[in-house]
Amino acid sequence: MLADLRSALPSPHRAATRAATRAATLAAALAGHRVFAVFLGLAAALRVVTMLGYHPAQLYWYDSFTYLDTAVHLAPSAAFHPIGYPLLLRALWPAHSVELIAGVQHAMGLAVAVLIYAVLRRRSVPGWGAALATVPGLFDASFLRLEHAVLSDTQFIFLIVAGLAVLMWSPELSARAAVTAGLLFALAALTRTIALPLLLLVLLVLLVLLALTLRRAGWRAGWRAGWRRLAALALAGTLPLAAYAAWYGQHHGRYALSGADGVALWARTMTFADCRAVQPPPEQAALCPNGTVVDAASEYVWAPGSSLNLLPGDRFQHNDLARSFALRVIAAQPLDYLREVVRDTSIAFAWTPIAHPARVTPAFGFGLGHWPLPEQPLIDKVKREYDPDIRGLSSTGPYADFLVAYQYVAYLRGPLLGAILLLGAVAAARRPRTALLPWAIAMGLLVGPVAVLDFDHRYVLPVIPVACLAAALLFRSRRGTSPERQDVQPVRIPAP
């Protein structure tokens, strides 16, 4: 009879009933996510305030303009910058607006939080815990500044978190998920080359998790299927890199992803290299320390008096020679190398941010005023070709005044980052099938840049969302979950 009454209703009334039913269903679905919805709304408002407070966007010499120029003239860079980020800028080029770039990156910052929250809720983390894990990425003023700058970091963070979310989404790693994750990590490596060893780290951790799983299920039952999925991930992750390396070779005469990896590693060794112990061959001896002293390893790349910059030609022409020298130094002085990596990594855990190198502003970078661009031919070229409205950054009150005060409160201090990583380590030890992968990636993101070049506070920011994801997994709730869901695994092989 009720069905008859509903069918008798005029069509507008039936439409209204359906709309009310859908609204009620949506409200019920969102009821468990109210805390995160409030956080997301406040974080979105902060990003609007940032765009209103600083015009047009933060542009750095020379990184930002190199990215923009590469976006217009697509070709692999001979130095530090691979093609991933310029591809995004190329897609946004028709708008001729660096403000649009900043807006898209602010949206990426919000998307990272949504991915982390969704993965944690799917892994049975309570709503409060999942929402809390997104707080640093949503509200730390350093992320607001980074998203508002024409730099590759925000895209890099998004791709790493997206790849991790794909791997952790399902109890069973399907072939489709493996391929998708491999492509995302490949794109991350083409955005910042530090993701290249991360891809190897992901494969290693998944292999360990597969071994843990098959020890219970039986090796014959699932090794072949598990191996195929890991192979699919590896293949999807390496093919785009191989294609880019071939393209790089067409332009620069050698098969590589970067023309600066050797220069970076050489700079890393300049803080401890002892050529009396290393005894390099004559062709490498010119790269030994020559008495030039700077306050950070990365500064040796640019110091006019450093041994590399005294060689004839451009510094990056000597990339292969610099790499050979650096590897020889590390092999001869492994303990000195580890000491320097540990010492510089420890800067991340200081309560008061340490300027490293001294010329940078490690935190609290929002200010008031106008910052003109330097007089450079490349800047004029980018103005003509990408965005005629490019100009120096200017602050606008009262939005900038609010952000200047806000940044001193909304900053993740080093000891808090240490505590988050420690919680992640506990989660990885107690629940390796769920927490080992994100914790390992967080540690790789923290140590990797220091190991291959130097510490930079910018390089710490990608660590934070992934570390929070790993730490939150310690608070997974087993209440109301089936035994099968209690041990959700990134790699689980179904029985034949």
- pLDDT tens per residue, the chain (496 residues)? 444 444 444 454 555 556 555 545 544 555 678 999 999 999 999 999 999 999 999 999 889 999 999 999 999 987 778 999 999 999 999 999 999 999 999 999 999 999 999 999 999 999 999 999 999 999 999 999 999 999 999 999 999 999 999 999 988 888 899 999 999 999 999 999 988 899 999 999 998 888 777 665 555 555 666 788 899 999 999 999 999 999 998 988 888 888 889 999 999 999 999 999 999 999 999 999 999 999 999 999 999 999 999 999 888 899 999 999 999 999 999 999 999 999 999 999 999 999 998 888 888 899 999 999 999 999 999 999 999 999 999 999 899 999 999 999 999 999 999 999 999 999 999 999 899 999 999 999 999 999 999 999 999 999 999 999 999 999 987 653 433 344 434 444 332 2
pTM of the model: 0.89
pLDDT at 486: 40
Q: How far apart are CA 181 and CA 305, in angstroms?
A: 44
pLDDT at 158: 98
Residue 460 is encoded by which pair of tokens? 């710490």
CA distances from 134 to 125, 273, 357 (A): 13, 41, 29
Q: How far apart are CA 125 and CA 432, in angstroms?
A: 16
pLDDT at 487: 41
Spell out the residues 6+ positions from residue 98 whose beta carbon is closer than 8 angstroms to its own. Answer: 56, 57, 59, 68, 150, 386, 387, 389, 390
CA distances from 254 to 42, 102, 201, 258, 324 (A): 49, 34, 26, 10, 16
- φ/ψ (deg, to 5) at 101: -60, -45
Q: What's the burial of 406, exposed, middle or buried (CB within 10 Å: 0-12/13-18/19+)?
A: middle
Count of other CB atoms within 10 angstroms of residue 355 = 14
- List the end-to-end C-alpha distance of the chain, in Å, as a whole number: 49
pLDDT at 361: 83
